[in-house]
Structure 1
Amino acid sequence: MTAHKSRTTDPDEIRHFAKDSAHWWDETGPFAPLHRLNPVRMGFIRDVLAPDAGGSLRPLAGLKILDIGCGGGLVSEPLARMGADVTGLDADDVAIGVAQTHAEAGGLDIRYLNDNAEDLAGREPGAFDCVVALEIVEHVADIDLFIAAIARLCRPGGTVIMSTLNRTPKSFALGIVAAEYILRWVPTGTHDWKKFVKPAELAAAMRRHGLIPARSSGLIFNPLTNSFSLSKRDLDVNYLMVAHKPETKKK
């Protein structure tokens, strides 16, 4: 294995997203689907990390959360507004610049890093209560190395929340053909169907690195409301997966 293949980041993927980085906060631009996904994703994360928070405006207060593949900060910002101590990580320096500028304009204190997961894991192992990696695993160069880094970054007793696209005929039809060529939701070439990850594959990778998969949920789009919702049964296209890192056993 060459040094390049040992990295989690894919230079072609970084270049593809970097050309649109100025548009991260344009709700009708190339990242519009992520804006549509955000309400249901944030609700899911809140329910996982703070199920008893009720109507608290800062249900994630006291939690250190790492947002891997943060892009322009679409996930990092709402996590910070819910009270979390957030670190956003992305290999695209242009996106990091956009994220920093937008956070500062909104008065949010978020630490943004232009780096990759495995290098950060070497410097800050076990530093985070929760590691979030949404819509990123299908873009990395080495999934196994990526999951290993995530597991190392998460503290014992912590939580990992990931979302990605399933590799099914339905995801090819909706996630590639419809989204990229018919509806033009995202730029052509955004996704490679061969890099989509089946839930069983993601769960197996988590287990290999000491994480315990605990919960999965599908994300389905309703064209009538132009919004996404959770589904316990339909994981055919987009889905979320939660895993826990066991507490360290006392000797």
Structure 2
Amino acid sequence: MSASNDTAGLRKPQSHEGFASETASGPSIDPADVARFSAQAAEWWDAKGPFAPLHRFNPARLAFVRDRAAERFGRNTRTRAPFQGLSLIDIGCGGGLIAEPMRRLGFEVTAVDASSENIGTARAHAEQMGLDIAYRAATVEQMVEAGAGPFDVVLTLEVIEHVADPEAFVRACSRLIAPGGMMVVATLNRTLKGLLLGKFAAEYVLRWVPAGTHDWRQFLKPDEIRAMLANEPVAVEGPFGLALDPLTGVWSEGDADINYMMIATRAVA
């Protein structure tokens, strides 16, 4: 099936006309991390490049989001574009590795990143694929201030460990959840196993990601994320672990010692 056929009959995502800036700024931004990912922007879609591990990891996290969203909204994932009519925002979208398949699943997708270079790469690739995704160089704080959303699904995957103020960041993300909607937060666990495998092995032994990509001190425990959201009107579930089978190289749901996801839901108003 061609990319143009994948999106046939789907509505365009909200334009958020009140948001005109293409300059990202906010208290949660870590300039060093933004610069690091900006320098690699052109390589996001190279499955053998610096983001190769993310390409291998992607099917597992896509399946997790798809299946939980289907449960939440009563959708049949065997149908074409099962999430048509629902909106989604991908916060910290990078080159669009999550935004594009979410659009193909039928979501109206808005995707934001603090790096204008990442947004340029993502926007160009989506256009080549015939996908209408509303990309913005922006922070979550800017989106909230501009009155964006709310969205049925809010995604922030492998982002919170790179921001300067994780609590302010995740609370701002939660304020974009529509009544009845859900948010998925994915990150790395601050455990000894997370340090040895998620940091040192991944960066210095296996060289899955460039050295210096992660700071173990910025990894978060599930209970810390739960506490950060305690004063927001959401219910938090998890952790839901994702683990790598070293023999097959396939990621699937498993223990939460290294990679895990948390789900926050907002009640129907």
Between the aligned partners of 1:58 and 1:181, the Cα distance in structure 2 is 41
Equivalent AA in structure 1 for residue 32 of structure 2: D
> RMSD value over aligned CA atoms?
1.4
Between the aligned partners of 1:128 and 1:209, the Cα distance in structure 2 is 16
Q: Is the CA contact (8 Å cut-off) linking 1:125 and 1:154 kept in structure 2?
A: no
Residue 239 of structure 1 pairs with residue 256 of structure 2: no
Correspondence 1:79-158 to 2 at 5 A: 79-158=102-181
Q: Structure 1: where are the runs of 5+ without partners?
A: none
Q: Structure 2: where are the runs of 5+ without partners?
A: 1-24
Between the aligned partners of 1:194 and 1:101, the Cα distance in structure 2 is 35
Q: 1:126 to 1:54 in 2, by over 3 A?
A: closer
Greater mean alpha carbon deviation, residues 110-119 or residues 145-154: 145-154
Residue 42 of structure 1 pairs with residue 65 of structure 2: no
1:219 alignment counterpart? 242
1:64 pairs, out of 72, 77, 87, with 87
Query: Normalising to structure 1: TM-score of the pair?
Result: 0.93
Between the aligned partners of 2:174 and 2:208, the Cα distance in structure 1 is 32
Q: Is the CA contact (8 Å cut-off) linking 1:46 and 1:60 kept in structure 2?
A: no
Residue 195 of structure 1 pairs with residue 215 of structure 2: no
Q: 1:35 to 1:219 in 2, by over 3 A?
A: same
1:228 alignment counterpart? 251
Aligned residue for 2:256, secondary structure, equals: coil
Offset of residue 125 of structure 1 = 4.9
Count of aligned positions:
242
Between the aligned partners of 1:177 and 1:149, the Cα distance in structure 2 is 31
* Structure 1: 4+ residue segments shifted above 3 A: none
Cα deviations by residue, 1:188-234 (Å, 9 ceiling, x for unpaired): 00000000000010111122222211343101011222121112xx1
Residue 160 of structure 1 pairs with residue 183 of structure 2: yes
Query: Normalising to structure 2: TM-score of the pair?
Result: 0.87
1:10 alignment counterpart? 30
Equivalent AA in structure 1 for residue 140 of structure 2: A
Aligned residue for 2:229, secondary structure, equals: helix
Cα deviations by residue, 1:158-191 (Å, 9 ceiling, x for unpaired): 1001100000000000011100000110000000
Cα deviations by residue, 1:72-98 (Å, 9 ceiling, x for unpaired): 000000000000000010000000000
Aligned residue for 2:175, secondary structure, equals: helix
Between the aligned partners of 1:54 and 1:86, the Cα distance in structure 2 is 17
Identity, in percent, stands at 45
